[in-house]
Amino acid sequence: MVDQIVLLSSPGETAQFQIQEQRSDPPAAGEIKIRHHAIGTNFLDVYHRKGIYPLTSYPAVIGAEGAGVVEAVGPGVDNFKIGERVAYAGPPVGAYCSTRNIAAERIIKLPDTVSAKMAASSLLKGMTAYMLLKKTFDVRDGHSVLIHAAAGGLGSILVRWAKSINATVIGTVSTPEKAALAESYGADHLVVGREADIVAEVKRLTDGRGVDVAYDGIGGDMLVKSLRSVRAFGMAVTIGQAAGPVPPVPVEELRPGKALSHPSIMAWCADAGRYREAAQAAIRAMEKGIVSEIGAEYSLADVAKAHEEMESGRSAGSILLIPR
């Protein structure tokens, strides 16, 4: 078996990916070497690939989460053993490879109930859901939430987690097939189709009040619709731009007293304490079945196909990269 690494030669389309043989060094002091069994993909990876979120230098290795086993331990690391099952998520990026040396403080041990594929598909998204549902806006029993792309990787976790808090969930999806999936995750109401009048439907479903909080990873002109779907003194949260950049939003859209938040899970995870808090919360959620379904698996060599499927919007759930 030949270890591989995916290099991004420069920002751009998937043609900028280069698959090369990996020759890795032993872990340095304070590091472990993890052999990936599964690597998670996220829209964050697309933003890094395209240069929407620029990297410091090129060629670069992207990818923000992975899971596998400890293959080697660097000097000064005494809390991990070779062969232990582990995972990580968040900064620094660099997961698109067969093996990786990474600071031991970024590593989370996996319980027997959480597989490598489950962790790679759900850890970063679970951490993001924790940040969104408990820290950005504290969703509680009786709250109503609007979740766009409710059948997607993050959307499915948000739906399941919000329902575990006894919130009322309104989800948006593009097709009846995805609506069936989102309903199986627990969504109470679904707005189906890209041309649907989301604001009118949300107002109808909430007796004209609007939702307490809306989570918008769509971008484009959807953010204004999300704001208009939120009740007075509620919050809209922008967490991505799958449909394109968000145009300027007039401050008048915040009347009367609405809040707009733009949190970053990577910024949240830069603090070691917050990172471990969110990661442990995500692991506990996985043990309760709050996970992202795995929509597709690709080998590292097929990373371009994985990104193309992610951007197409065809896939429901998470897309994994599997080192061969």
| pLDDT-derived band at 1, boundaries 50, 70, 90 | low
**Counting beta carbons within 10 angstroms of the beta carbon of residue 207, is it exposed (0 to 12), middle (13 to 18) or buried (19 or more)?**
exposed
| CATH code given to domain 127-263 | 3.40.50.720
The predicted pLDDT at position 219 comes to: 86
Helix, strand, coil percent content, the chain, rounded in steps of 5: 35, 25, 40
- Provide, rounded to the nearest whole percent, the portion of the chain with pLDDT above 90: 92
166-179 confidence digits (pLDDT tens): 999 999 999 999 99
**CA–CA gap between residue 118 and residue 218 (Å, rounded):** 24
Q: What mean pLDDT, rounded, does the chain reach?
A: 95
246-304 confidence digits (pLDDT tens): 889 999 999 999 999 999 999 999 999 999 999 999 999 999 999 999 999 999 999 99
Tell me, which fold does domain 4-110+293-322 have in CATH? Quinone Oxidoreductase; Chain A, domain 1 (3.90.180)
| Peptide bond just before 245 cis, omega within 30 deg | no
The predicted pLDDT at position 314 comes to: 78
**CA–CA gap between residue 168 and residue 151 (Å, rounded):** 16
Q: Please answer whether residues 31 and 75 qualify as being in contact, where contact means their C-beta atoms are separated by less than 8 angstroms.
A: no
308-320 confidence digits (pLDDT tens): 999 987 778 899 9
Q: How many other CB atoms are there within 10 angstroms of residue 17's CB atom? A: 20
88-138 confidence digits (pLDDT tens): 999 999 999 999 999 999 999 999 999 999 999 999 999 999 999 999 999
Q: Pick the closest to residue 276 from 104, 117, 161 (CA basis).
A: 104
Structural domain boundaries of the chain? Answer: 4-110+293-322, 127-263
